[in-house]
Amino acid sequence: MHKHELPPLSLYIHIPWCVKKCPYCDFNSHKQTGDLPEEQYIEQLIRDFEKDKNLLQNHSIQSIFFGGGTPSLLSVASIEKLLIYLNKNTSLTADCEITLEANPGTVDEKKFAGFCKAGINRLSIGIQSFSNQSLIDLGRIHDGKQALSAYEIARKAGFNNINLDLMFGLPNQSIASALHDLKQAINLDPEHISWYQLTIETNTYFYKFPPPLPEDDLLWTMQTEGQKLLKHSGYHQYEISAYAKTNLQCRHNINYWTFGDYLGIGAGAHSKITQNDNIIRQWKYKQPNDYLDPEKSFTAGKSIIPEKDLPLEFLLNTLRLIDGVDYALFEKRTGLPLHIIEKSIANAEQKQLLCKNRLQATPQGLQFLNDLLQLFQ
């Protein structure tokens, strides 16, 4: 591996609690019981960051993402304290994108205005659907009216960069109802829409008790008709499930998808850091009680990504991007010469899964992404 420059850097902050665990959710989230130990948790996040600060190598942070769980459960004071600390103790780029995930069932005007004033400049609202029946089926704590209200409150609070999370392929969903959901989202005119198919993950309630999901041909029609609708409405698809107005793509997620570096703090958070020409992954203790335990180290594990695994790790991310990446980025991010994957590239081009002269999946390659990735294993 040859020496390479440090990639861009993002910070991910995990908030592990939510009001209720959704039956499809396989994220590290835990149902809130009683009062949140948020003051203690913020102190631990600060300690966690202090311990890992050397990994940043004096590199500026270009984006921060509060994910969960439900970060909007936290008080404005907690978010503000953490952002003040980060501003004082590390270098943030002047245009640092700072996103907070919010659940429509946990918002009020005063809180959103407070988040905006504290420095959150991008909001991601987990709508999932506007249909009351679909929301019940998904185990969500909000209804369609609250979903609309959360968006209006966010706008009134001063947010001018909002993402709406929306799913399709819901239990018993028809093509018409899936497109109706999408039209309602588009009519609100957010800057960004994350629109993705409900998938059944292991370790979820839905995995044990599968709901009646639409057939594959219905899912295909939902997806293709929805994509046409989004395109016609001015939303450019830049990743498999991400659509944005011009120049309003999520910079934090683009950094993941272009194999940038990120530091993760909080229960169960993961990091990928380039250090001394190695690429290191590390992860934190998942259970909030372990993370809050002052006797325990925050880090549950750490490993160097073996050189043989780097090409696939890189492509698992970059091939999700609709426009892909140029060949030079492969060498820049992995430190490996392109020729080690040239045979696989030629094979993928021959099968019409990869475009010529660029690491970019063809429309067919995007449709059969797992088949494409297998060629690089």
Residue-wise pLDDT for 158-168, tens only, equals: 999 999 999 99
How far apart are the C-alpha atoms of 109 and 338, rounded to whole Å?
52
The pLDDT, as a whole number, for residue 114 is 97
The answer on pLDDT for 21 being more than 80 is: no
% residues pLDDT > 70 (the chain): 99
Are 69 and 17 a contacting pair, CB within 8 Å?
A: yes
Q: Which residue, among 58, 65, 59, 62, has the nearest Cα to 96 in the 3D structure?
A: 62
SS (H, E, C) 155-195: HHCCCCCEEEEEEECCCCCCHHHHHHHHHHHHHHCCCEEEE
Residue 37 and residue 42: Cα distance in Å, rounded? 9
* pLDDT surpasses 80 at 299: yes
For residue 288, the one-letter residue type is: P
* CA atoms of 138 and 170, how far apart (whole Å): 8
Nearest-10 crossing angle of helices 144-156, 175-188 = 20
Which run of H or E residues covers position 116?
helix 109-118
CA distance 80 to 239: 31
**pTM for this model (two decimals):** 0.95
Specify the pLDDT at position 231: 98
pLDDT tens-digit readout, 302-361: 999 999 999 999 999 999 999 999 999 999 999 999 999 999 999 999 999 999 999 999
**Residue 42 confidence (pLDDT) above 80:** yes
Per-residue pLDDT tens over the stretch 259-285? 999 999 999 999 999 998 899 999 999
Rg (C-alpha) for the chain, rounded Å, is 21
pLDDT in tens, 111-135: 999 999 999 999 999 999 999 898 8
Q: Which residues contact 347 (CB under 8 A, 6 or more apart)?
A: 375
49 burial type by CB count under 10 A (0-12 exposed, 13-18 middle, 19+ buried)? buried
Q: Which residue has the tokens 């953490």?
A: 82
Q: Distance between CA atoms of 219 and 242, rounded to whole angstroms?
A: 17
**Per-residue CA distances from 219 to 94, 175, 233 (Å):** 42, 8, 21
Beta-bridge mates of residue 63: 10, 97
Q: Residue holding tokens 């490996």?
A: 336
Question: b vs e for 151-182, b when ≥16 Cβ sit within 10 Å of the residue's Cβ?
Answer: bebbbebebebbbbbbbbbbbebeeebbbebb
For residues 305, 310, 314, 315, the Cα torsion angle rounded to the nearest 10 degrees is -130
Number of residues in the chain: 377
